[in-house]
Chains A and B, each alone.
Chain A
Amino acid sequence: MSDVITVIAAPPFATIQDLGRVGFRDSGVPVSGLADRESGLLLNAILGNDPNAAMIEWAVGGGTLRFDCAAKIAFGGADAELGIGGMPVRHLMPISVVAGDELKIVRIVRGRFVLIAVRGGIDVPLVLGSRSTLLSAGIGGFQGRRLRAGDELRIGDSMVAPCDATEHTERTDRAHVNGSVMVMRGPQASLFDDAAWATFLDSEFVVSRASDRSGYRLEGATISHSGSAALPSEPACVGAIQIPDGGTPIVIMHDGPTVGGYPKIAVIRKSCLSRFAQMAPGDPVRFAVGSSDCDTT
Chain B
Amino acid sequence: MDEFPIIQQLGDDALLVTFARTISWDVGIRVRSTARRIRDTRLPSVTDVVPAYTTLAVYFDSRAMSFATVSSEVATLIGDADAASDDRSALIEIPVRYDGPDLAEVAEWTGLTQDELIEKHCSRTYRAYMTGFAPGFTYLGDLDEALVLPRRTSPRVRVPAGSVAIAGAQTAVYPLVTPGGWHLIGTTSMAMFDPARDPPARVRAGDSVRFVRVGG
Contact = CB atoms under 8 A, between A and B. Distances in A.
Contact of A270 (B12, B22, B139): B12
15 contacts: A26-B201, A27-B131, A27-B201, A29-B200, A139-B195, A184-B9, A185-B9, A187-B8, A187-B16, A235-B56, A235-B57, A264-B10, A269-B11, A270-B12, A271-B12
A136 B178 contact: yes
A26 B48 contact: yes
A22 B12 contact: no
A258 B59 CA distance: 12
A232 B50 contact: no
A257 B52 contact: no
A145 to B, nearest CB: 13
A257 B62 CA distance: 22
B50 A269 contact: no
A195 to B, nearest CB: 23
A192 to B, nearest CB: 15
A234 B16 contact: yes
Contact of B52 (A137, A259, A270): A259
Interface of B: 8-14, 16, 18, 21-23, 47-57, 59, 62, 130-139, 176, 178, 193, 195, 198-201, 204-205
A236 to B, nearest CB: 8
Contact of B195 (A137, A184, A237, A269): A137
Interface string A265-280: 0011111000000000
A96 interface: no
The 5 A-B pairs with the shortest beta carbon distances in the complex, nearest first, are A259-B132, A235-B57, A27-B201, A267-B11, A270-B12
Contact of A237 (B56, B59, B205): B59
Nearest to B200: A27
Contacts of A296: none
A25 B53 contact: no
B53 A234 contact: yes
Interface string A9-45: 0000000000000111111111000000000000000
A233 interface: yes
B54 A27 contact: no
Nearest to B57: A235
A127 B71 CA distance: 31
Contacts of A53: none
Given A22-B48, A28-B137, A232 B59 contact: no
Interface in A174-211: 184-187
A292 B13 CA distance: 12
Contacts of A268: 11
B157 to A, nearest CB: 14
B75 to A, nearest CB: 17
Of listed B21, B50, B198, residue having the most chain A CB within 10 A: B50
B10 A240 contact: yes
Given A128-B200, A136-B178, A25 B50 contact: yes
Nearest to B55: A234
Nearest to A186: B10
Contacts of B11: 184, 237-240, 267-270
A217 B64 CA distance: 32
B195 A258 contact: no
B200 to A, nearest CB: 5
Nearest to A138: B176
A235 B55 contact: yes
Nearest to A260: B132
